[in-house]
């Protein structure tokens, strides 16, 4: 099984880091939950130096990555299941996130909840972070009294979305590499091969087509 490096915290704020084998981050989170810890961050051993390379969101556009929202949803589910009040859970998770935008939003949502606003209504004020589906699911959970179960479903859905995006990224990576390789070979031929061919053609005094002359001229210029 893959080896993960992880950082986790207990509900008392105790931090724990280390490595563990798990099928995926969801299984790792369950294992740590059984030990009384909440998974904060995890990345594969082979990606240690890259940290969250699979997180393909665009921070300067969204401000909050899919990974951050996925971790938030999963950890909030653990806290709610453990019986922690929602405001305290939001405060704890806000302190753990590195995104300033996400932290500010969570703290503002916490204040709204304390003042009596529904959690779902508070989330609705941040549509750029929480989708309409997320908001509606939370509303259903509030009304049915099973918010923790709804959060679990949302967490699983986000993990599937994350996995799908990772596969798409991997599928797009191969043709990009091929294109770069072809460009590199083309440039190499222009710089190394074409000038030598030009010398040969000159010695043979062969009349060349215009396109061939242009290619040779470009190769000579680059060389």
Please state, in angstroms and rounded to a whole number, the distance separating the CA atoms of residues 198 and 204.
10
Distances (CA, A) of 7 to 158, 196, 211: 20, 58, 61
Distances (CA, A) of 201 to 192, 196, 198, 208, 210: 15, 9, 5, 8, 14
Q: What is the pLDDT of residue 62?
A: 45
Q: What is the pLDDT of residue 206?
A: 65
Q: What is the pLDDT of residue 61?
A: 37
Spell out the domain ranges in the chain: 1-53, 58-176, 177-222
Query: Helix or strand or coil: residue 57?
Result: coil
Q: What is the pLDDT of residue 223?
A: 60
Q: What is the pLDDT of residue 31?
A: 87
Q: What is the pLDDT of residue 58?
A: 39
Pair 138, 150: CB distance under 8 Å: yes
Q: What is the pLDDT of residue 54?
A: 42
Q: What is the pLDDT of residue 57?
A: 40
* β-bridge partners, 19: 5
Query: Helix or strand or coil: residue 142?
Result: helix
* β-bridge partners, 218: none
Q: Please state the CATH superfamily assignment of the domain spanning residues 58-176 in this structure.
A: Type II secretion system (T2SS), domain F (1.20.81.30)
Sign of CA dihedral 78, 84, 87, 88: negative
DSSP element (H, E) containing 97 = none
Q: What is the pLDDT of residue 55?
A: 43
Could you read off the pLDDT tens digit of each residue along the chain, which spans 223 residues? 788 888 887 766 678 888 888 888 778 888 888 888 877 777 786 654 444 444 444 333 346 888 899 999 999 999 999 999 999 999 999 998 888 999 999 999 999 999 999 999 999 999 999 988 899 999 989 988 999 999 999 988 888 887 877 778 777 777 878 888 888 887 777 677 667 766 776 666 666 677 766 766 766 666 6
Q: Where are the beta strands (DSSP E) in 45-122?
A: none
Dihedral of the alpha carbons of 150, 154, 159, 162, in degrees to the nearest 10: 180
Query: Helix or strand or coil: residue 3?
Result: strand
Cα angle 211-216-221, degrees, rounded to a multiple of 5: 125
Distances (CA, A) of 44 to 18, 88, 195, 204: 12, 30, 48, 60
Q: What is the pLDDT of residue 183?
A: 86
Q: What is the pLDDT of residue 75?
A: 94
Q: Where are the beta strands (DSSP E) in the chain?
A: 3-10, 15-21, 37-44
How is residue 32 annotated by DSSP? H
Query: Per-residue pLDDT tens for 127-167?
Result: 999 988 899 999 989 988 999 999 999 988 888 887 877 77
């Amino acid at each position: 099984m893959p080896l993960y490096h992880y950082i986790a915290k207990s509900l008392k704020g105790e931090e724990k880091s280390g490595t563990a084998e798990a099928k995926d981050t969801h299984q790792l989170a369950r294992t740590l939950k059984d030990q009384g810890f909440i998974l904060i961050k995890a990345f594969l051993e082979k990606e240690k130096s890259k940290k969250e390379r699979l997180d393909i969101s665009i921070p300067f556009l969204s401000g909050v990555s899919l990974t951050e929202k996925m971790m938030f949803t999963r950890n909030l589910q653990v806290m709610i299941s453990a019986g922690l009040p929602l405001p305290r859970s939001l405060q704890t998770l806000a302190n753990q996130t590195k995104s300033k935008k996400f932290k500010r939003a969570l703290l503002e949502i916490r204040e709204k909840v304390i003042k009596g606003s529904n959690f779902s209504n508070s989330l609705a004020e941040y549509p750029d972070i929480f989708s309409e589906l997320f908001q509606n699911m939370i509303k259903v959970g509030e009304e049915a009294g099973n918010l923790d179960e709804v959060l679990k479903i949302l967490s699983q859905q986000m993990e599937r979305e994350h996995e799908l995006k990772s596969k798409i990224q991997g599928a797009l990576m191969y043709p990009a590499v091929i294109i770069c390789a072809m460009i590199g070979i083309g440039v190499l031929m222009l710089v190394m091969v074409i000038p030598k061919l030009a010398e040969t053609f000159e010695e043979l005094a062969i009349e060349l087509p215009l396109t061939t002359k242009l290619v040779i001229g470009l190769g000579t210029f680059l060389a």
